[in-house]
Structure 1
Amino acid sequence: MNEPGTTHFGFRDVPERDKARLVGEVFSSVARKYDLMNDLMSFGVHRLWKRHFVATSGVRRGDRVLDLAGGTGDIAVLLLPRVGDQGEVVVGDINGDMLKVGRDRLTDRGLVRGLDWVQLDAEALPFPDRSFDCVTMAFGLRNVTRKERALAEIQRVLKIGGRALVLEFSTVKAPLLKPLYDIHSFSVLPRLGAMIAGDEASYRYLAESIRKHPDQATLAAMMESAGLARVDVRNLSGGIVAIHRGYRI
């Protein structure tokens, strides 16, 4: 448990008011190498996780989808064909550097129609109640200072019957996998960060932030407390990541 007014930034406690700034510095530092590093860190498996995440999202033609922490646009690219010409994907991220990377990349590919890019704070979404058919968040919730506020905001902006989908690193369930995963997280990732992104500290933080994130059952309970119903969890890759789904009813 953290002291009142503090929260975790990796394995150290910091004032709550400082976490957003510190996380922002991390992602501004790694923005241009973010997707390359994801490929290297996960051996490309993150792409399979994300494809499965979107393929099982239930998103249909004409839907309006909010993709939170979607800065580099990799989830948006997968969502666009599903919403079609009549739908819309709003990409929201607190970090302007990540948004710029994603917007420039997708614009270069000619992907403009049906896309909006918004710099925002997930704890205070700038949208009216019941605005979206689906809200997705991939690998971003663990970096939010007050996760319960973000989940409550997601619930608020969902239409009745709308879905909240969270893809996030979670707690490994396969006993034989855990020691290998720890070695990879704390020995390999920081070294890759130093070599490829020139930033060992940021990737050490990212590894630590995974360990501080709520486990599957705790996050499911948090989603229910935020007012989401029929919450279910699907583990991928032995629990390295998990998909949490909940509905507004």
Structure 2
Amino acid sequence: MQQYNGKSKEEFVHGVFSAIAHRYDLMNTTLSFNRDKYWRRFAVSQTGLQPGGFALDVACGTGMLSIELARVVGTSGRVTGLDFCENMLAQAVRNIEKTPYKNNIDLVQGNAMNLPFADNTFDCATIGFALRNVPDVEGCIAEMRRVVKPGGRVVSLELAKPSAPVFKQLYYLYFEQLVPLLGKLGVGKDGPYRWLPNSLKIFPHQSVIRDIFTRVGLKDAVYHELTGGIVAVHVGTK
């Protein structure tokens, strides 16, 4: 496995998110110019979830996507959020406590590469801004497919690579130069928000991710580019 400052990717990413958990939501909203809420809602709209449904949110972090899923399934449904970082889950508990859905969201500490659930358990599985952080993208998507019921959907919301001339250059200037600076100001550390542009550089193009969805056996795999292509929502059906 590739090493990151002498650590495996999994250990490195755990350290990054442990360090920024307390400011993660504020920084997401700030750095995305408040578009992150729209992106999450669009992703949830692609899940096919209905009231009373049963959703899994993989690498749920601070629980913001889990909360959006809970809005759809309502009080008769359930959402399970899974993450491997204790600090992020602790923040998720605080966020969920402020919502009407605190009795409908279960949080589990676990690994996205080895989901502790039986086959064909959930109506959908989502992952938000975390696919680029897992050690094996294809393995993670395959695990999500495994735990979804036949006819259920796997949905990924992730940073993407815009292609429009000029906008692309401006975006990368912002992302590679300003984001690490703003991140350092926001969390008081230099390293964590340098990982953000670096993680996108090595992450495959959205068309490649779509092909991986197909390769693991998800049907009708498509992706939707949002906000000029700076994020993409991938959808596939089991």
Give TM-score, length-normalised by structure 1. 0.91
The C-alpha deviation readout for 1:192-235, integer Å capped at 9, x for no partner, is 11111112211011111012111111101111111111101111
| 1:126 equivalent in alignment to 2:122 | no
Aligned partner (choices 170, 181, 187) of residue 180 of structure 1:
170
Aligned partner (choices 116, 132, 152) of residue 162 of structure 1:
152
RMSD: 1.5
Asked if the contact 1:92/1:120 (under 8 Å) is kept, the reply is yes
> Percent identity among equivalent residues?
36
Aligned mates of 2:186, 2:104 — CA distance in 1: 33
4+ long deviations beyond 6 Å: none
Distance 1:109 1:234, change over 3 A: closer
Aligned mates of 1:232, 1:243 — CA distance in 2: 8
- Mapping 1:69-108, distance limit 5 Å: 69-108=59-98
Aligned to 2:13: 23
Asked if the contact 1:220/1:232 (under 8 Å) is kept, the reply is yes
Deviation at 1:108, TM superposition (A): 3.9
| 1:231 equivalent in alignment to 2:227 | no
Letter in 2 for 1:6: Q
Aligned partner (choices 216, 219, 222) of residue 212 of structure 2:
222
Asked if the contact 2:119/2:146 (under 8 Å) is kept, the reply is yes
Aligned to 2:2: 6
Asked if the contact 2:59/2:83 (under 8 Å) is kept, the reply is yes
Aligned mates of 1:100, 1:110 — CA distance in 2: 18
Letter in 1 for 2:204: P
Deviation at 1:109, TM superposition (A): 3.8
Aligned mates of 1:236, 1:124 — CA distance in 2: 30
The C-alpha deviation readout for 1:119-164, integer Å capped at 9, x for no partner, is 1111100000000000011101000001111111011101010100
SS in 2 for 1:151: helix
| 1:52 equivalent in alignment to 2:48 | no
Aligned to 1:139: 129
Aligned to 1:66: 56
SS in 2 for 1:190: helix
Asked if the contact 1:71/1:100 (under 8 Å) is kept, the reply is no
Asked if the contact 2:46/2:155 (under 8 Å) is kept, the reply is no
Asked if the contact 1:192/1:200 (under 8 Å) is kept, the reply is no
Aligned mates of 1:109, 1:241 — CA distance in 2: 26
Aligned mates of 2:99, 2:233 — CA distance in 1: 29
Q: List gaps (5 residues or longer) in structure 1.
A: none
Letter in 2 for 1:234: H
Which is further off, 103-112 or 185-194?
103-112
Give TM-score, length-normalised by structure 2. 0.95
Letter in 1 for 2:26: L
Deviation at 1:82, TM superposition (A): 1.1
SS in 1 for 2:124: strand
